Structure 1
Amino acid sequence: MALLPINLRDLNGYSVKSDNINGTLCLRYVARHYMVFGLTAFVVFMLLLGKLSFHEVIVEVPLAEQARPESSRWSGLRLPPLYSQYHEHELSLPQHRWHAAWHEGEPKFLFIPGHSRGSGWGNIWQEILLNAYLSYKLNRAFVFYNYTWNDDASQDYSDYGGKPIPSRVPLSALIAGPMVGGAFPGTDHHASLSIAEQYYHTVCDGRKRVLDREEVHKDLGSWMVDSITEGWVRKLRTVDDQCVEVENSQGPIYNWVTFGDKSAMRAAWADFAASPVVSTFRWSPLVELAFDNNREVVAPTTISEPPLSALPYDTPNAGRYPAIPGLLVLHLRRGDYAGHCEHLAEWSSTFLAFNQLPGLEDFTPPSGSAPWGENTPENTALYRRRCLPTIPEVVARVREVQQAHAARGLENVYIMTNGALSWVEKLKVALTDMGGFKHVASSRDTVLNWEQKYVAQAMDMLVGQRAQVFIGNGWSSLTGGIVVMRHANGFHADTTRFF
């Protein structure tokens, strides 16, 4: 299967997050992968050779984007890509019979228009996984949708911290496989192939059966994943309509209450992990190429390792993303987490459902004599330490985890973070000063083209998924997505830790 296209005109618009990437690192990369990534590596090498510090490139906005009314709002800034070629790829899937005279021979569909919007990728992705899983259990085609910040078709860009981001990113720019229309493997080859939302609306216009979410949920008696899934399976067994969707105004089927309960995934885990939604999951070619191009940044190699883009398309999740020996990955959320961690403490929140799978270290909120919605100073300090650790606390936790048998041989560190560059550099120095690590890098050191910049969180998840040891944030859904894939791929529970 051909790779989704990469916009080559953007190759001169690399986003470089640090000015201290060693030129030697890029030379080693060229020597290792020149046959596969010659053009990309050459451009990066020339950029690094020409200057040691990089800055955001401000270029003329393309005429097609200048015509959009919101373009003037971002005057002087380079506008994000709109990923039109990925949208086109989705609409051209072979299961989309656009010109068929009738569609009775097609499978039954399930669409959940009240899916979450305007949230970080980790929150959206965990919901997509369960929506696709439910569709598979029903043998209905999953109607996949964009990663959406803003549904308004007149606004291609949304404001994120004063900067423009794409309002809608096609799902195929982030992930690949059955969830976005790819074939199911082996014995599942008769499973209904996923379809794009636009195709669903076209085919099902005027003949949709809309179901009341509240009617199904009022009799469940639980917000656990297994209860919700079984409730919807029972309901849909009584519905023969081809085009079924859930009432839009009633929100997601699996919502924040479910994802926030530490026990919500446990009963459903074995069946969920064995489903092709998980076992055949893969990241998009765009994300995998970003990983391949930054392989030496993440952890310098000493032996030949085939790039992900060279592996057969149908390589199972576990075989495609094995552990990288010697790699320790830390996920450290900053920014808005200062306030968020305080809120978690006030309500004595448990770790999220995806972070409390069977066998993983448990977190039980400490007890204390404080009114509901408040907490003791001691407990609040504990939450802060585990949710927003300082540099000395990060170092201390790394030292502690290093004592585990599963941590033997760790020599490279990769820091997944949205922290300020100055803070990240101080942390890198502190980890280097510990001794024992040959290489310490972070998200800020990666080299990404213009399309990869806006899906960089997915590349970080791929790195975390492949760590020999991963230390994450138990209240982070992005950590949760990594934990799910590590656990499903058979990584020993002792290799997945939390601050």
Structure 2
Amino acid sequence: MLRRAMAILPSSTKDANGHSTKIDSAGQCLRFIARRWLVFGITGFALFTLLLRMLYLRERVVAIPSAVEGSEYSRWAGLRLPPLYSQYHQNELRLPQHHWHATSHEDEPKFFFVPGHSRGSGWGNIMQEILLNAYLAHKSNRAFVFYNYTWNDNPSEDYADYAGKPIPSRIPLSALVAGPLVGGAFPPGQHAPLAIAEEYYRTVCDGRKVVLDRDEMDKKARSWMVEPITTAWLEKLNTVDDQCVEVAQGQGPIYNWITFGDRHAMHDAWADFAASPIVTHFRWSALVELAFDNNREVIAPTAVFEPPLSTVPYTSNAERYTALAGLLVLHLRRGDYEGHCEHLAKWSSSYLAFNGLPALEQFDPPEGGSWGENTPENVAVYRAHCLPDIAQIVARVRAVQRADAARGLQHVYVMTNGAVEWVEELKRALRATGQFTHVASSRDLVLNWEQKYVAQAVDMLVGQRAQVFIGNGWSSLTGGIVVMRQANGFHPDTTRFF
């Protein structure tokens, strides 16, 4: 910038024809002063801008206000604290179906709330439960009471500790998803009551809640499968006329880990669930879609113009999240899966419910194991599917490429929480096959500060739109992607597992 600025000042006293011109000493002095002041001005402006940036970063990234020394903030001194998404919370409370100042709420629809919903788990676990809770509320013709994605629901603690780093204790659901799940409109022709926020429910229903016993419904269902559980609750809810209904606080989720851990649990309920507007009009939040748009060329470079997803009018889940031709997405869990995969092998576990949908390839536990232990050979089989090494990953990719549904693959995107060094080694191995022109991973995304803490949802959007997706059958994050792909009509051959 400095060199360009100096270039606009004359450096010669000759005219355009090369002849010398007469410039008096005063004129030369003025030109000299003007040049110097311009240089000083540009330099000063650059230094001032740099100083402001340093101060801004120092305040946002490092400084811990003295007023909160000794509080929950001080344990993370020197770290940039996560966002709290206050604007999203406020927007949820401004939903038009929230009649805060009404003198009576009798004319509003009936509500259904599950206060014992799961907490302290990854987004994949939480999302699968939210979808089923909202599905149950919709079938009962009650407004679903949606809640935060919660790690810690202690209102005095804004941050939770995750592996020694601060994360938001509560993320508003609307920062992750949009549509009927968080109070958005149902499709035309659907006259279902709109979802409401938990805070509104607690306010207008204070002192007049009917609490239902989950244990009673479990005995009635006599099963952990989704269909009999849903039927038992519907029969009970249809007998209750009260507006404010919830499940007993200390009894946990309606659909729990036993349900989600059985690969047959969704079979009988699948067709009705997939046709529900909870799924057909599921949508990712504007924050997540913007992250996708900003990283579109990182994920899979385009050859022709493609309008940003966030500019396209919404119609439905299937029409919005179409397949990206040529894109292969791999979901590879690392970190805690080192021990988790050993645990799965020990108990001869099958795939999770959302990954056990009809028509998808399945994993049958090898024979030879017993309750609580397994053979070394069987453990190795589990590791190849659950925690494959780089050679096994490449071999699986090459095998899937032989399918007709995999024709034309040229880009690879790796969804992973793996260490950077391992991810780079994997990317080199995939490039070395000579089959792909572009290889990227979750680690390559450029995200703003709010998007960083919903990055799992960004990855799920990418996986949902892959031409071919290869996931982990024991991962709930994979499960959420699988559900959306199946519901959107993707051919089963395009959805695989390691």
Q: Tell whether the structures are fold-level matches, with TM greater than 0.5.
A: yes
Alignment partners' CA distance in 1, 2:393 and 2:356: 21
* TM-score, normalised relative to structure 1: 0.87
Equivalent residue number for residue 425 of structure 2:
426
Equivalent residue number for residue 310 of structure 1:
311
Q: State the shift of 1:198 in Å.
A: 0.2
Which amino acid letter does the alignment assign opposite residue 318 of structure 2?
Answer: A
Q: State the shift of 1:65 in Å.
A: 9.1
Q: Give CA deviations for 1:268-296 in whole Å, capped at 9, x if unaligned.
A: 00100000000000000000000000000
Q: State the shift of 1:64 in Å.
A: 11
Equivalent residue number for residue 409 of structure 1:
408
More contact order relative to length (CA 8 Å, sep ≥ 6)? 1
Equivalent pair of 1:61/1:79 in contact (CA under 8 Å) = no
Equivalent residue number for residue 90 of structure 2:
88
Alignment partners' CA distance in 2, 1:103 and 1:416: 46
Equivalent pair of 1:210/1:246 in contact (CA under 8 Å) = yes
Alignment partners' CA distance in 2, 1:246 and 1:237: 15
Deviating 4+ runs (over 3 angstroms): 55-58, 60-68
Which amino acid letter does the alignment assign opposite residue 377 of structure 1?
Answer: P
Q: Give CA deviations for 1:378-403 in whole Å, capped at 9, x if unaligned.
A: 11110011000000000000000000
Equivalent pair of 1:58/1:77 in contact (CA under 8 Å) = no
Identity of aligned residues (%): 73
Which amino acid letter does the alignment assign opposite residue 463 of structure 1?
Answer: V
Q: Check if 1:263 corresponds to 2:245.
A: no
Note closer, same or farther for the CA distance 1:270–1:68 as it changes in structure 2 (3 Å cut): farther
Alignment partners' CA distance in 1, 2:59 and 2:491: 43
Match of 2:72 among 56, 70, 73: 70
User: What SS does structure 2 have at the residue aligned with 1:459?
Assistant: helix
Equivalent pair of 1:86/1:170 in contact (CA under 8 Å) = yes
Alignment partners' CA distance in 2, 1:480 and 1:213: 25
Alignment partners' CA distance in 2, 1:307 and 1:222: 45
Q: State the shift of 1:371 in Å.
A: 3.4
Equivalent residue number for residue 39 of structure 1:
none
Equivalent pair of 2:61/2:81 in contact (CA under 8 Å) = no
Alignment partners' CA distance in 2, 1:61 and 1:203: 40
Equivalent pair of 2:299/2:413 in contact (CA under 8 Å) = yes
Equivalent residue number for residue 457 of structure 1:
456
Q: State the shift of 1:69 in Å.
A: 2.2
Q: State the shift of 1:254 in Å.
A: 0.2
Q: How does 1:81-230 map to 2 (within 5 A)?
A: 81-188=83-190, 190-230=191-231
Note closer, same or farther for the CA distance 1:452–1:263 as it changes in structure 2 (3 Å cut): same
Alignment partners' CA distance in 1, 2:290 and 2:70: 30
Equivalent pair of 2:64/2:74 in contact (CA under 8 Å) = no
The answer for unaligned runs of 5 or more in structure 2 is 1-56
Q: Give CA deviations for 1:455-482 in whole Å, capped at 9, x if unaligned.
A: 0000000000000000000000000000
Note closer, same or farther for the CA distance 1:99–1:62 as it changes in structure 2 (3 Å cut): farther
User: What SS does structure 2 have at the residue aligned with 1:497?
Assistant: strand
Alignment partners' CA distance in 1, 2:104 and 2:217: 31
Equivalent residue number for residue 330 of structure 2:
330
Alignment partners' CA distance in 2, 1:65 and 1:417: 38
Equivalent residue number for residue 363 of structure 1:
363
Alignment partners' CA distance in 2, 1:324 and 1:56: 41
User: What SS does structure 2 have at the residue aligned with 1:59?
Assistant: helix
Q: Give CA deviations for 1:297-318 in whole Å, capped at 9, x if unaligned.
A: 0000011111111011x32000
Alignment partners' CA distance in 2, 1:65 and 1:226: 53
User: What SS does structure 2 have at the residue aligned with 1:327?
Assistant: strand
Tell which deviates more after alignment, 63-72 or 408-417: 63-72
Equivalent pair of 1:341/1:384 in contact (CA under 8 Å) = yes
Q: How does 1:242-253 map to 2 (within 5 A)?
A: 242-253=243-254
User: What SS does structure 2 have at the residue aligned with 1:474?
Assistant: coil
Alignment partners' CA distance in 2, 1:175 and 1:68: 35
Alignment partners' CA distance in 2, 1:64 and 1:240: 53
Alignment partners' CA distance in 1, 2:108 and 2:375: 58
Which amino acid letter does the alignment assign opposite residue 411 of structure 1?
Answer: Q
Equivalent pair of 1:285/1:309 in contact (CA under 8 Å) = yes
Alignment partners' CA distance in 1, 2:442 and 2:274: 28
Which amino acid letter does the alignment assign opposite residue 452 of structure 2?
Answer: K
Equivalent residue number for residue 379 of structure 2:
380
Q: Give CA deviations for 1:193-213 in whole Å, capped at 9, x if unaligned.
A: 000000000000000000000
Note closer, same or farther for the CA distance 1:57–1:391 as it changes in structure 2 (3 Å cut): farther
Alignment partners' CA distance in 2, 1:126 and 1:243: 24
Which amino acid letter does the alignment assign opposite residue 335 of structure 2?
Answer: G
Q: State the shift of 1:67 in Å.
A: 7.6
Alignment partners' CA distance in 1, 2:312 and 2:235: 39
User: What SS does structure 2 have at the residue aligned with 1:219?
Assistant: helix
Note closer, same or farther for the CA distance 1:441–1:163 as it changes in structure 2 (3 Å cut): same
Q: Give CA deviations for 1:113-136 in whole Å, capped at 9, x if unaligned.
A: 000000000000000000000000
Q: State the shift of 1:256 in Å.
A: 0.3
Alignment partners' CA distance in 2, 1:471 and 1:403: 14
Note closer, same or farther for the CA distance 1:61–1:138 as it changes in structure 2 (3 Å cut): farther
Equivalenced residues, count:
442
User: What SS does structure 2 have at the residue aligned with 1:468?
Assistant: strand
Alignment partners' CA distance in 1, 2:222 and 2:152: 33
Equivalent pair of 2:281/2:317 in contact (CA under 8 Å) = yes
The answer for unaligned runs of 5 or more in structure 1 is 1-54
Q: State the shift of 1:366 in Å.
A: 1.0
Equivalent pair of 2:267/2:358 in contact (CA under 8 Å) = yes
Alignment partners' CA distance in 2, 1:87 and 1:468: 35
Note closer, same or farther for the CA distance 1:80–1:407 as it changes in structure 2 (3 Å cut): same
Note closer, same or farther for the CA distance 1:307–1:450 as it changes in structure 2 (3 Å cut): same
Equivalent pair of 1:58/1:76 in contact (CA under 8 Å) = no
Equivalent residue number for residue 491 of structure 1:
490
Tell which deviates more after alignment, 60-69 or 274-283: 60-69
Cα-Cα RMSD: 1.5
Give the structure with higher Rg (CA). 2
Equivalent pair of 1:74/1:164 in contact (CA under 8 Å) = yes
User: What SS does structure 1 have at the residue aligned with 2:297?
Assistant: helix
Equivalent pair of 1:65/1:71 in contact (CA under 8 Å) = no
Q: State the shift of 1:62 in Å.
A: 7.5
Equivalent pair of 2:64/2:73 in contact (CA under 8 Å) = no
Which amino acid letter does the alignment assign opposite residue 455 of structure 1?
Answer: V
Equivalent residue number for residue 29 of structure 2:
none
User: What SS does structure 1 have at the residue aligned with 2:221?
Assistant: coil
Alignment partners' CA distance in 2, 1:260 and 1:357: 13
Equivalent pair of 1:337/1:388 in contact (CA under 8 Å) = yes
Equivalent residue number for residue 274 of structure 2:
273
Note closer, same or farther for the CA distance 1:56–1:214 as it changes in structure 2 (3 Å cut): farther
Q: Check if 1:288 corresponds to 2:289.
A: yes
Q: How does 1:42-61 map to 2 (within 5 A)?
A: 59-61=61-63
